[in-house]
A = this chain, B = another copy of it.
């Protein structure tokens, strides 16, 4: 189905143009017109792929989540098998932070989307569902690590999950150079060491 593949590719190119606008000028500036200009297509052409701004944002957000999942999968494939859950959590967390250009684009898109979702009912439920799914995925890893004896049985999986998710808060501190990548990685390692140490 070459036509379908082409359609998908054009949509991904437009999504990447949107990421660039968000990265450089913020989501408020990401109108259909601005994104068409950044992607080098006419507004009419862009509207052929996305009928409105919400459809474009939602696709760009889903594509960012997909790219992040692919980077996590690539990182996990590089670990020894069976992978230690500490390493799995480290790869997952670090790929969510703006520590290299591709991760920076997807993390900015994600932060901006969640902020806009607070005020946009069309995005709200989807943003919430995405964050809840991500949270459930991390909690699944923690529960498995307890079941497999990597983590002490008296660890509360929900609390440990929330403490790990909080570490994604380093994103803005990194973006504004309040902390540097080395600081974020050191803090994540210290947290993971503490989590996996026997009590």
A145 in the interface, Cβ–Cβ < 8 Å? no
Asked if B131 and A178 make an inter-chain contact with CB atoms under 8 angstroms apart, the answer reads: yes
Query: In this complex, which of A118, A167, A186 has the most chain B Cβ atoms within 10 angstroms of its Cβ?
Result: A118
Kindly specify which of A55-63, A65-73, A79-87, A107-115 makes contact with the partner chain. Answer: A107-115
A135 in the interface, Cβ–Cβ < 8 Å? yes
Count residues on chain A whose CB falls below 8 Å from chain B CBs.
47
Residues 174-196 of A, flagged 1 when their CB comes within 8 A of B and 0 if not, give: 01111100011011001100100
- Grouping DSSP codes into helix (H, G, I), strand (E, B) and loop, the A interface class, with mixed when no group exceeds half, is helix
Chain B residues whose C-beta falls within 8 Å of the C-beta of A116 in the assembled complex:
26
Residues 92-110 of A, flagged 1 when their CB comes within 8 A of B and 0 if not, give: 0000000000000000100
Asked if A114 and B176 make an inter-chain contact with CB atoms under 8 angstroms apart, the answer reads: yes
Q: A26-B116, A28-B28, A111-B115 are in contact. Are A169 and B176 (CB under 8 A)?
A: no
